[in-house]
Every structure is written in structure tokens, then in C-alpha cells.
Amino acid sequence: MNFPKNFKYTKDHEWIELQGQIAKVGVSAYAIEQLGDIVHIELPKSGTTFKAGESFGTIESTKTVSDLYMPVAGKISEVNQAALQKPELLQEDPYQQGWLVKIALEKDTSIAGLFGSDDYEKYLRESGS
């Protein structure tokens, strides 16, 4: 399974890709495989603010609904309409076309608490995944 090196990851299997003060947020290939077919996602509107760790939407497979948690604090600057229309993009391409939201980071936000790709893979191994 592929985990891009330049991304950061959470224990809840979200990823972020930092581009200056904007971060793209998505769900890791591991989580997608666990969920199976993604059939519906719900995302907030642009302009909504979130604290780190706050639920910002849901991802739904044929059998389960899971909350999505914001890896970092900030304000939603863009929502991936293509993913809302076509949730299977998350399965086909979880790191590029399957992103969920872009978030403008709150000032002085630290991403130090997030996993790098190696640590995330180690976390998956240790949690018996």
C-alpha cells in the first residue's frame, strides 16, 4: 500500500498535504481499503472553521458510516465537488483526485503531532493492521 512521503497522517487515517498555509485533506489508502466501496460522503461548506480533531464530515461505505476528523485547525477554503459527486474517486485515487477539502491553516498551527509516512506505517503495523 502506498503512503506518499511528503504527506502527514493522523491516527484516524486522514492525510494532509501542506502547500504553504493551505492544507489539502483526504483519507489514507489503508482506511479506504478497510471501508470498502465508498458510496457517500458529506462535507462542510467553504468558510466553516474547525478545531484540530473536530469531526468535519462523514464517509459512508456500503455497510458503515465513519466520521472524518480534521487533522489541523483552520477554515475550509475549498470542497472537492468532484468527490462529492463521485465518491468512488476516493478508492480510485485517494491522494490526488480523491482529496476532500482544502483548509486555510489557523495562525501558528503546528503539525508536529502528526505522523510522517514511516511513522504512520509503523503505527498501522503496531495496531495490528
Partner 1 sequence: MATSTSDSQKTPLYETHLKYRAKIVPFGGWAMPVSYGSVLNEHHAVRKDCGLFDVSHMGELLVSGPKSLEFLQQHTINDLTKLSIGAGQYSAILNETGGMIDDVIVYRVASEDYFICVNASNIDKDFHWLNTKSKPWSQRHQVQVENQSDSWGQLAIQGPKANLALEPLFGAEKLEDFQYMQIREVLFRGQRCLLARTGYTGEVGFELYAPPGVLPQLWEELMGTSNLSGIKPIGLGARDTLRLEACYLLYGNDMNEEVSPLEAGIGWACKLGKGVFVGSEALVAQKAAGLKRQIFAFKMVDEGIPRHDMLAYSKDAAQGTTPKALGMVTSGSVLPTVGGAGGMALLDPRHIKVGDQFYVDIRGKLKTALVVPRPLYKAKVK
Q: Which is nearer to partner 1, 66 or 109 (CB)?
A: 66
> At residue 47, what are phi and psi to the nearest 5 degrees?
100, -15
Can residue 49 be called a binding residue for partner 1 (CB under 8 A)? no
Q: Do residues 72 and 52 make contact, with C-beta atoms less than 8 angstroms apart?
A: yes
How far is CA 104 from each of CA 18, 33, 87, rounded to the nearest angstrom? 10, 28, 23
Binding segment for partner 1 (CB under 8 A), chosen from 43-51, 59-67, 103-111, 113-121, is 59-67
Can residue 60 be called a binding residue for partner 1 (CB under 8 A)? yes
Can residue 40 be called a binding residue for partner 1 (CB under 8 A)? yes
Among 37, 92, 118, 119, binds partner 1 (CB under 8 A): 37
Rounded CA-CA distance 91/31 in Å is: 10
What is residue 30's DSSP assignment?
Answer: H
Can residue 63 be called a binding residue for partner 1 (CB under 8 A)? yes
Binding segment for partner 1 (CB under 8 A), chosen from 20-28, 55-63, 73-81, 100-108, is 55-63
Can residue 92 be called a binding residue for partner 1 (CB under 8 A)? no
Least separation in angstroms between residue 107's CB and partner 1 is 31
Using CB atoms within 10 Å of the CB of residue 9, give its burial: 0 to 12 exposed, 13 to 18 middle, 19+ buried.
buried
